[in-house]
Each structure stands twice: as C-alpha cells, then as structure tokens.
Amino acid sequence: MSKKTLFQKIIDREIPSEIIYEDDICIAINDINPQAPIHILLIPKKPIPKLSDCTDKDKDILGHLFLIIKKITYDLKINESFRVNINNGEDAGQEVFHLHIHILAGRKFSWPPG
Ligand code: AMP
C-alpha cells in the first residue's frame, strides 16, 4: 500500500487540523502557515497527487470542489474578492502531493504571482 500523504492523515484524523468544512468528497482546513488573513486548503478525499493526474473520472469531484469554494467564500462573506490557487508540480511550488486548492482572502493580491 502506498504511503499516506500529509493531507490523507489529516482526513483520517491522524494529524490535527482546523477543519472549517467537510463532506463526503472533500475537506477544508486552515493552512498552518497562512499567506493571507484567510488561507484555506480545500482537499478532495480521493488522494489524487496533482491536478495534472486528474482524468474524466474525476470531473464530478473537480466540479464539486469549485462549488464548495463558492459556498465557503459566501459563508465567510469573502465572496467579493478572493484568490484561488493550485500549485501543480515542484517547479510551481507544490509541496504536498495530494491535490489541494488554496483559497486566499483578506488582503490585496498582486499580479503576476511570484
Ligand atoms: P503546496 O505548496 O501547494 O503543496 O501547499 C501545501 C500547503 O500545506 C502549504 O501552504 C503549507 O503551509 C500547508 N501545510 C503543511 N502542513 C500543514 C498542516 N499540518 N496543516 C495545514 N496546512 C499545512
């Protein structure tokens, strides 16, 4: 059996985290090292390593994640301005190889990103 990712351990409650949303398909937690006043990680429970590993079979999960972004940002009253980010691969800054979406809000963001 392959080794559990950090986020799989969080999903399985082997590592504590601040859970702000959970359903059958995904979990959202506060990032341990926030890069903005609000920095949430939205993680599918299926251990897909990265976005580029997704297939047609994952389209319901991917669609669900984006609608949950809408729900979380609405519930937190940050739906007017927020940033959504996926790091795909080491050169893009991915450190945990279990797909996750960063949701950032609460400050101004510049473009292009670093
Ligand atoms: P990435 O660089 O896109 O793979 O993002 C990984 C993110 O996971 C980083 O923003 C880390 O701060 C965050 N992170 C690492 N360990 C934990 C943890 N135990 N709980 C919550 N977030 C974490």
The answer to whether position 112 is within a domain reads: no
Position 65 pLDDT exceeds 60: yes
Domain that holds residue 72: 6-105
Antiparallel, parallel or unpaired: β 26-30 and 101-105? unpaired
CATH code, 16: 3.30.428.10
Distance CA 85, CA 78 (A): 16
Overall number of domains in the chain: 1
The answer to whether position 89 is within a domain reads: yes
Average pLDDT of 85-111? 97
The answer to whether position 23 is within a domain reads: yes
The answer to whether position 98 is within a domain reads: yes
pTM for the complete prediction?
0.97
Distance CA 63, CA 14 (A): 28
- State in Å: Cα 1 to ligand 1 middle: 23
Please tell me which residue, 113 or 7, carries the higher pLDDT value: 7
What's the pLDDT tens digit per position in 70-95? 999 999 999 899 999 999 999 999 99
Average pLDDT of 59-68? 98
Strand ranges, E, within the chain: 19-22, 26-30, 38-44, 83-85, 101-105
Q: Is 31 a pocket residue for ligand 1 (Cβ < 6 Å)?
A: yes
The answer to whether position 114 is within a domain reads: no
Under the banding of pLDDT at 50, 70 and 90, the label for residue 1 is low
Q: Is 94 a pocket residue for ligand 1 (Cβ < 6 Å)?
A: yes
What's the pLDDT tens digit per position in 23-61? 999 999 999 999 999 999 999 999 999 999 999 999 999
